Structure 1
Amino acid sequence: MNIRPPVEDWATDFDHLDPRWIEDPFPIWAELRSSCPVAHTDRFQGVYLPTRYKDIREIAYHTEAFSSRRVQVRATPPPVKSPAPPITSDPPHHRLARMVLLLPFTPAAIDKLIPGTRAICNELIDRFAGKNQCDAALDYAQHIPVLVIARMLGLPADQGEKFRDWVHGLVEAAVLDDEAMVGTLEEMTAYFLEQVQRRRKTPSEDLISYLVAARVDVQPLTDNHILGTLRLLLIAGIDTTWSGIGACLWHLARTPEDRRRLASDPALMPTAIEELLRAYSPVTMARMVTKDTVVEGCPYKAGQMVLLSFPAANRDPAMFPDADKVIIDRKENRHAAFGLGIHRCIGSNLARMELTVAVEEFLKRVPEFHLADPKAVRWSEGAVRGPPRAALEV
């Protein structure tokens, strides 16, 4: 954790890396929502923070004034450009880049991955079965999406540690550390370029080969487009999902009535997963203000950044009754865990499947568990929130 000046006023000097924010942001958002629904800070080169669902939704759709060319808030300007289409693309380029990825992430395509994902989950549980303790994050959640996305991309499963290091380098360390960002990008570029060159010589049935063979307006994708998309698929396919799985198990470990209800009534699982996604949404994205504009009476100045906190949107009581309560049979749940607008997560079907299977298999094999030390659980900092460690007694 970097030593940073403490926040004196969340409305005018917020810091999403402040330890109080990292551990429990919900009361901070609630206070802002009632007193100053759009906070601002001069830190990170100037950032706005809307906390209401309606503001966040309007900004997400307002692509003319809020660009996706930069989707991460940093202490300094990015030392290098690292495009990752379609997430860093604006219209009209965004639509074509997104269309390329639609087919591999349809519900039908994801359904084919369910048996393999169940096998992964059970192989992981086998490693700690019969023991009195395990770590829901380190022993389970952090491995599942790594192994699933590695299979989809056709990458070696034993390189999970490398992939996790890349996640840390680009999602957490890069916010404050230029060297970490540049080093991680260089390493990923060299690695994926070699994989792309292999597929050009010997195509196979994987996502890298799919991208190599893809065409947009009859033209092949450039190397930069392919490499950026692969960075996106790996990083977005790992960190967000393991954070979601970890948060689900953390909640069930500390809420035995929900855990036992789900274990006894598996038909409730789809509704419960949606509610856990709403309550513990892992992802906050950013937008760059490209021109002075006003949203719901609040002015946004060109050149500043906006934190689009989908987790804050999902805790807005104007949108969700009893927004701070986790209600696993919540009937109406138009949550924003996968984002809003044209950049809504293209991998949402994959993430839902992985969360559902991970929780189902864990409850089948480990129906009774609780946190070994609730005070010892820490949450990750930066754009993706989840518990990197969550020791359980089982």
Structure 2
Amino acid sequence: MSDISQPTAHPPVTDWVHDFDHTDPQWTEDPFPIWDELRAASPVVHTERFLGCYMPTTYEAVREIANDSEHFSSRRIIVRDVRPEITSRNSAPPITSDPPVHKPAKQLLLPPFTPDAMKKLEPRVRAICNELIDGFITEGRLDAAERYTKHIPVRAIAHMLGIPETDSDLFIRWIHMILELGIKDENTLLQAVHEMSAYFSAHIEARKNKPTDDLISYLMNARDKDGNPLEDSHVLGSLRLLLIAGIDTTWSAIGSSLWHLARTPADRERLVAEPELIPTAVEELLRAYSPVTMAREVVKETTVSGCPVKAGNMVLLSFPAANRDPKMFPDDKVVIDRRENRHAAFGLGIHRCVGSNLARMEMQVALEEWLKRIPDFALDPAGTVTWSQGTVRGPRQLPFLLGKAM
């Protein structure tokens, strides 16, 4: 197996409005003032980086693009340094599909992610959280990202797929290669896709002889709109999507939520005292620290919020920036009992996240079990919080002090 090469560095940004870069260390560390600056300048900004890319800065402009599949294609969903020719129509359906292919591909994936299906999965997720907490609760200090947040969604999706939870480190490695390093390094991205495809192909082959009761067999038994079995490439693409989309996003959201509670004792103490408020708090934490930024490709010239956009450019579709638009959410502070919360953390339009019920359940359970057993925790001043770069933003190092060590 070849080593993961280091991505090439971009020159630092000196003019955010005309030359933004979502992989710049300043953006990774603290994007919120940058979004405010961009929004004040225009509802849509442009950079020559990434072979030309627009970014809508307001909730309304993001909504406009997310709802317009005529001018904006989902065939590319990550803004990257290169734009190679697309050779597979089944790269990661339905997220990489446009109408009319999109709807039937999405409908296939909905049944395993219903609220009822999540209720059946919930006991396993609670058990995972408690197994993890058992491993560090007596230690006094830990990296909560390394020991807790990243393992919950990895092991939950592995359980759903019927693949070994012990393969978690493999999945985490592939996600890092695709969503972070792959933005600037095509070879690293292709290596991860190749390894992931080989891994899942072996599981598909094994189930042809011995079917199982899991998500892989579910996809293998599914039928397309014409009643035919899905091609292996479609099954593979959907499995890659479930692994990539089902892990990094939720681990980032759980991590950001714990980071907020570690820094905000009043909110932490309130949730400990009123655990019934956790589902409402989860929605607000999703709004305030939305992890996912998607992309579109402009395929036909149009205007967005009065701004012209030209074909051949990419669009950085920042749901996190939309959720910080003061026109939509006038008080830009975290309000854990916010009642009306039309956030866009799970996307807008036809590509709204298939796994939103899973993510909500995992976040809720992860916070409930943590707060039940670890009501007192704070950021460790001796450590450094680091954040992931690019498409999904969440804490990658989360040093905490627990209980008496505080």
Quickly name the TM-score band, shorter chain normalised: over 0.9
Q: Which of the residues 193, 216, 219 maps onto 1:185?
A: 193
Partner of 2:78: 72
Q: Which of the residues 1, 20, 43 maps onto 2:26?
A: 20
Distance 2:55 2:335 in 1: 27
Secondary structure at 2:386 match in 1: coil
Q: What's the CA shift string for 1:143-200, capped at 9, x where partnerless? A: 0001000000000111111000110111111100011011111111111111111111
Mind listing any 5+ residue stretches in structure 1 that lack a counterpart? Answer: none
Partner of 2:373: 365
| 1:36 pairs with 2:4 | no
- 1:273, distance to aligned residue in structure 2 (A): 0.4
- 1:5, distance to aligned residue in structure 2 (A): 1.2
Q: What's the CA shift string for 1:313-351, capped at 9, x where partnerless? A: 00001001212x000011110000000000000000000
Q: Which of the residues 170, 175, 178 maps onto 2:183?
A: 175
Mind listing any 5+ residue stretches in structure 2 that lack a counterpart? Answer: 1-6
Q: Which of the residues 92, 117, 135 maps onto 2:125?
A: 117
- 1:81, distance to aligned residue in structure 2 (A): 4.3
Secondary structure at 1:285 match in 2: strand
Partner of 2:69: 63
Question: More deviation in 284-293 or 36-45?
Answer: 36-45
Distance 1:245 1:373 in 2: 21
Secondary structure at 2:261 match in 1: helix
Question: More deviation in 80-89 or 142-151?
Answer: 80-89
Amino-acid identity (%) = 61
Distance 1:269 1:194 in 2: 40
The answer as to whether partners of 2:17 and 2:37 remain within 8 angstroms in 1 is no
Q: Give 1:313's aligned amino acid.
A: A
Distance 2:160 2:150 in 1: 17
Secondary structure at 1:329 match in 2: coil
Q: Give 1:173's aligned amino acid.
A: L
Partner of 2:253: 244
Partner of 1:337: 345
Partner of 2:4: none
- 1:16, distance to aligned residue in structure 2 (A): 0.7
Query: For the structure 1 residues 314 and 375, does the alpha-carbon distance in structure 2 shift closer, same or farther, using more than 3 Å as the test?
Result: farther
TM (normalized to structure 2)? 0.95
Q: Which of the residues 214, 218, 227 maps onto 1:210?
A: 218
Distance 2:390 2:239 in 1: 21
Distance 1:374 1:243 in 2: 22
Partner of 1:157: 165
Question: Which runs of at least 4 in structure 1 moved beyond 3 Å after TM superposition?
Answer: 78-82
Partner of 2:363: 355
- 1:45, distance to aligned residue in structure 2 (A): 0.6
Query: For the structure 1 residues 28 and 306, does the alpha-carbon distance in structure 2 shift closer, same or farther, using more than 3 Å as the test?
Result: same
| 1:310 pairs with 2:319 | yes
Partner of 1:146: 154
The answer as to whether partners of 1:284 and 1:308 remain within 8 angstroms in 2 is yes
Partner of 1:166: 174
Q: Which of the residues 295, 305, 309 maps onto 1:296?
A: 305
Secondary structure at 2:11 match in 1: coil
Q: Give 1:105's aligned amino acid.
A: F
- 1:37, distance to aligned residue in structure 2 (A): 2.6
Q: What's the CA shift string for 1:220-269, capped at 9, x where partnerless? A: 00011000000000011110000000000000001000000000001111
Secondary structure at 2:316 match in 1: strand
Distance 1:328 1:55 in 2: 26
Q: What's the CA shift string for 1:53-88, capped at 9, x where partnerless? A: 000001000000000000111101137646100000
| 1:284 pairs with 2:290 | no
Report how many residues are paired.
Answer: 393
Partner of 1:89: 97
- 1:2, distance to aligned residue in structure 2 (A): 4.8
The answer as to whether partners of 1:68 and 1:287 remain within 8 angstroms in 2 is yes
| 1:227-242 alignment runs, 5 A limit | 227-242=236-251
- 1:363, distance to aligned residue in structure 2 (A): 0.3
Q: Give 1:168's aligned amino acid.
A: H
Q: Which of the residues 108, 115, 134 maps onto 1:107?
A: 115
